Structure 1
Amino acid sequence: MTGRIEIGNDRSGSAHMIDEAGQLITSMQAFHLDGAGGMTAIEVPAGMADLPGDGFNWVHILGRSDEIDAWLRGSGIDLISLAALTAEETAPRATAQGQTILVNLRGVNLSPGAEPEDMVSIRMFISERLVISLQRRPLYAVRDVIRDGEGGHGAVSPGELVARIALRLAERAEPVVMALNERVDELEDQVIEENSSVQRGDLADIRRMAIMMRRYMFPQRDALNRFELEEMDWLHGLGRSRLREAAERMTRLAEELDSIRDRAQIVRDEVMDLRGEAMNRQMLVLSVVTAVFLPLGLITGLLGINVGGIPGASVGWAFWGVVGVLIVLAVIQFWVFWKIGLIRRG
């Protein structure tokens, strides 16, 4: 591959590929979890028939390469699961097949320069002895789970491992949702101060982010609930309770995003009302000015025609007399407009 350097398996058996800038492109890591919180890195097993020890094993794949595709084809998983793991587009879901289940989840994209709402998918094949997770782009939530396991706080069952990943996905999404909330708060404060300079582009950006993130949160909640309710022999009490907790956190995030979207719409309506009122005031001023000068213009127009019989044409003070009449007429008009409320009192 142009501009890429492949690094062979390290002592733990993990395979990595990085580019010339040192950025991770693909990796394949394998871990053995003993069911008591311990997690150790192992060589990537050849497939489901080559799973060492008790407990269960977790193979995590980042990116895509010919080597990864070859390993997946030879791993022993069925063709339906293989197609689901390697699909280009995925939506959050949970699909059971006997004593195995496929779970797709989404997490916010926190990579440098990326848009958080461009949510990254993680696809998982889960059985009693093996969990295979695959993502095309980095997810900090998975790194958090791996770091916890390396610190002696690994999952005790495959179900709990999925729940931990889902909880970390929610934890990483919470600051993004909180930042959206703060942006809406700032815009609401500006509207309360009757500041109509709020940019509609800011409101549109907030609503777009909230809608795009919400699009995955509710299906993600449903997928976790579906997983928690499945009759899997290896899905025990702790795993079910953690899955339920993860689903509840996804529900809270989705409801918060609903609130943000609705608040942004209300702020937009308020801004449009403020701008409409400002426009109405400006049109009222123009209407009053036009109404005042319309009769004055009519009189001066009549006196300015070049025909005989103009009154006062031969009188020296006639000009100032006409000016005085126009001033009196203008004052009377202003008084009438003020009485009928076209001009604000005070």
Structure 2
Amino acid sequence: MSGGAPWLHMCIRHRETESYLSSAAGLDNLISAAMVSEDTRSRLRVHGQGVMVLLKAMRLRADGVGHPEDMVSMRIWIDEGRVITTREEDVDPILELAEDISQGRGPATPGDFLCDLIEVHLAEASEQVEKLEDGVDLISNMLVHHQTEAACPSMANTQTAISGFLRHLGPQRAVLQKLTTLVVPPLNTNHRGRLEDHLNQLLRLLETLVNLRDRIDILSDRASRIQERQLNQSSYVFAVVSTIFLPLNFVTGLFGANLLGLPFADATNGFWVLVGLCLLMSVGLVAVFRWFKWL
């Protein structure tokens, strides 16, 4: 870092990482174990003059789209003179800060490092939430045009994504709340002010996600009603068609019974008389349906 504090970025799959953290790095055993744990929940732990922060951060796919299942653990330890991070897979905020530092424009102190890291993390989360908002707007537009077949798969994916982001981002609120009031050497008043801004940004994100969840629930109910109405309309059409053709089937079946000879069998125009009779019955049935406003 530009201020001279070292940054150690270590892989948790290396078998010597935990022993190095607890011995050479001088970290508490509980903190060392948490820094190499594969499955972590967002939390904060203070030890001595330093603080460990565990968060879930985004790892974007090649297409630039982030999914909740792609959020992986981001483990950070800072004290007054150093930064230690551990990884199973690199997350985008870490990669972005590493690039900034390599170009000489990165954070100057461990406190700056933590604030910058959270800032990048929330910026990427905000971008993904904006994409979810656009997706919900698109689903709403589909339902306006009764395109339920296209809307329903998108709706299910969006519901899953919203729930996943809430599950990963929700616990981070408590972490940032503690950081805004934490008094340790790496964090000064300026850092706490920045962290308070980050907390407000996270709260807005969570509020947006809750609103999106409520909207998608309403849209899901609307889609169900549209599908139910379409099904009822289809059933009604089949019922009307069946009602019209049932008497015709009866008449044609009666004329074809051949018990005492076919009516009009010897008549030259017998077939056409039967066809005309069926047409008259059809028109009459349609007129009756219109009269009772069934059509």
Distance 1:205 1:134 in 2: 31
| Counterpart amino acid of residue 91 in structure 2 | L
Give the secondary structure class of the aligned counterpart of 2:260: coil
**In angstroms, what is the RMSD of aligned CA positions?**
2.9
Are 1:194 and 2:146 matched, yes or no? yes
Are 1:116 and 2:67 matched, yes or no? yes
Q: Which structure's residues are more often strand, by fraction?
A: 1
Query: May I ask how many residue pairs the two structures share in their alignment?
Result: 292
Aligned position for 2:22: 73
Q: Does the Cα contact within 8 Å between 2:50 and 2:186 map onto a contact in 1?
A: no
| Counterpart amino acid of residue 34 in structure 2 | A
Are 1:244 and 2:196 matched, yes or no? yes
Are 1:85 and 2:35 matched, yes or no? yes
CA shift at 1:165, angstroms? 0.8
Distance 2:278 2:156 in 1: 52
Specify which of 254, 257, 261 is matched with residue 305 of structure 1: 257
Are 1:176 and 2:140 matched, yes or no? no
CA shift at 1:257, angstroms? 2.6
Larger mean CA deviation between 103-112 and 228-237 belongs to 228-237
Distance 2:105 2:269 in 1: 103
Larger mean CA deviation between 320-329 and 240-249 belongs to 320-329
Are 1:39 and 2:3 matched, yes or no? yes
Q: 1:231 to 1:39 in 2, by over 3 A?
A: closer
Aligned position for 1:220: 172
Distance 1:143 1:293 in 2: 71
Specify which of 81, 100, 105 is matched with residue 50 of structure 2: 100
Q: Does the Cα contact within 8 Å between 1:164 and 1:242 map onto a contact in 2?
A: no
Distance 2:116 2:208 in 1: 21
Distance 1:88 1:70 in 2: 16
Distance 1:148 1:305 in 2: 91
Q: Which structure's residues are more often helix, by fraction?
A: 2
Distance 1:168 1:182 in 2: 21
What are the Cα deviations for residues 127-177 of structure 1, in whole angstroms up to 9, with x where unaligned?
333332212111221233344445555545533421221111011222222
| Counterpart amino acid of residue 189 in structure 1 | N
Distance 1:112 1:295 in 2: 64
Alignment map for 1:94-173 (pairs within 5 Å): 94-112=44-62, 116-117=67-68, 118-149=70-101, 153-155=105-107, 157-173=109-125
CA shift at 1:327, angstroms? 2.9
Larger mean CA deviation between 207-216 and 230-239 belongs to 230-239
Q: 1:230 to 1:301 in 2, by over 3 A?
A: same
Give the secondary structure class of the aligned counterpart of 2:190: helix
| Counterpart amino acid of residue 96 in structure 1 | V
CA shift at 1:303, angstroms? 3.4
Distance 1:150 1:316 in 2: 100
Q: 1:119 to 1:269 in 2, by over 3 A?
A: same
Give the secondary structure class of the aligned counterpart of 1:112: coil
Percent of counterpart pairs with the same letter?
Answer: 27
Give the secondary structure class of the aligned counterpart of 1:133: strand
Distance 2:269 2:99 in 1: 99
| Counterpart amino acid of residue 263 in structure 1 | R
Q: Does the Cα contact within 8 Å between 1:157 and 1:235 map onto a contact in 2?
A: no
Are 1:267 and 2:228 matched, yes or no? no
Give the secondary structure class of the aligned counterpart of 2:39: coil
Distance 1:332 1:243 in 2: 78
CA shift at 1:86, angstroms? 1.0
Distance 2:273 2:102 in 1: 99
Distance 2:49 2:14 in 1: 29
CA shift at 1:77, angstroms? 0.9
Aligned position for 1:207: 159
Larger mean CA deviation between 217-226 and 277-286 belongs to 277-286
| Counterpart amino acid of residue 243 in structure 1 | L
CA shift at 1:290, angstroms? 0.9
CA shift at 1:85, angstroms? 0.6
Q: Does the Cα contact within 8 Å between 2:52 and 2:78 map onto a contact in 1?
A: yes
Q: Structure 2: state its 5+ residue gaps.
A: none
